[in-house]
Amino acid sequence: MQQPRFAWLGLAVALAGCQVAGPIRAPQADGRAVANAITGETLVRLKPGVSPDAFAARYGLRAAQRIGLGMYLFTGSTPLTELRADSRVLWAEPNRSLTLPAIQETRLPALTLHPEGSEDPLMPAQYGLTITGTDRAWKVQKGDPNVIVAVIDSGIDASHPEFDGQLVPGWDVTVKPAVPGGTHDGYGHGTHVAGIIGARADNGIGIAGVAPGCKLMPVRIFDDFGHSSEGTSAAAVIWAVDHGAKVINASWGSSLPGQAAMDAYQYALDHDVVFVSAVGNSGTNDQNFPAAMPGIIAVSGTTDMDTWASFSTWGDWVSVAAPGEGILSTFPMAKGNGYRIMRGTSMASPFVAGAAALVRSQFPNLKQAEVKARLEATAKDVIQPGRDPYSGAGRVDIARAVLDP
């Protein structure tokens, strides 16, 4: 893997009171989920006023989960054609699985660590903050705590000191019925994403997030093995919107979105939520949802040299790009020293989610579509002249997005 121009060797920091004995590893996190129909699970949107229990009884089904917006997950084996013929049904479809790929680890040279000169001593390794101008934007805006960013993912490790005071109450949709929580992360993906957005700043340890003054909402949809479903993701999006999220980050997706997912995404946009999503890591121009849905900010990946990251999905639906190669962030404390270097558009998306949170903090009257337009208008043209399929409007420039009048 290409080494960043912000030299890894010779960089020194203290890691939350522990020393790095060996090389920091760089797992490859894909964030593109594979969708397959789940046997015996059906998503149905009922017309207003229809009882889900009565509907289930009519077909010998069980109402297993309330999704929201009149959508329910039913378990049982009634044919879809029969359900769709019912006049009480708006639509019916199979529930599809979403599975995050296994995290692949790649060894990098060991870092030399020292604590001098930084309240967040690992910040010199966070090239993404410098290349996007985040450090300059902080002179004016570090984030408003009333701006809540929902991290819909595998959870956020609340025991990590970088999230002390950073989290609002969350929700765990991996169990049915869903329960308060989201603060356990047995997979690691969500904690890494969350650190990029909102790791605590100026606490004398580790890193800092793009928008450390904002709050994070942990909404857990992927279990300890990286498994989820479209019904679960739809329920999570609706819950986050209903509980005050101003920005949603979705570092996952599917090439085959169902109606439940699309209805949930549209619900977020209709309720003035900035929705940010990773485009995927296929290295092709295959569409990935939610990123490819109109109105959502689709984020591709770039390197520390402002070149296209070859793993990144591309297409004319890409909105902006952000650093996705060699990204240092938080990782569950139970899995090591609390930090990992990872790559993928899963890491690029939270840079833009953090940027959106800073813009919403600085310009609270902007609507979600105006925030998207501002991030695109202020992006830096880096790959090809004008709008291109690799970086969209360009690599996000957080300094310009926050500081430009």
Could you write out the DSSP letters of every residue in 117-167? T-SSTTGGG-HHHHHTTHHHHTTT-S--TTSEEEEEES---TTSGGGTTTB
184 annotated active-site: no
Distance CA 248, CA 353 (A): 7
Could you give phi then psi for residue 82, rounded to 5 degrees?
A: -70, -40
Distance CA 148, CA 75 (A): 34
Determine which one of 30, 120, 144, 153 is catalytic. 153
185 annotated active-site: no
Tell me which residue of 274, 357, 290, 326 sits closest to 111, measured CA to CA: 326
* H or E segment to which residue 346 belongs: helix 345-362
Determine which one of 154, 346, 349, 361 is catalytic. 346
Determine which one of 189, 192, 233, 277 is catalytic. 189
Amino acid in the structure at residue 172: D
Distance CA 262, CA 174 (A): 20
> The tokens 């013929």 sit on which residue?
85
189 annotated active-site: yes
Cis before residue 290, ω within 30 degrees of 0? Answer: yes
Q: Which residues contact 12 (CB under 8 A, 6 or more apart)?
A: 111, 112, 113, 114, 115, 116, 121
Could you give phi then psi for residue 203, rounded to 5 degrees?
A: -105, 10
Beta bridge partners of 46: 89
- Maximum CA pair distance of the chain? 69
Q: Active-site residue numbers?
A: 153, 189, 346
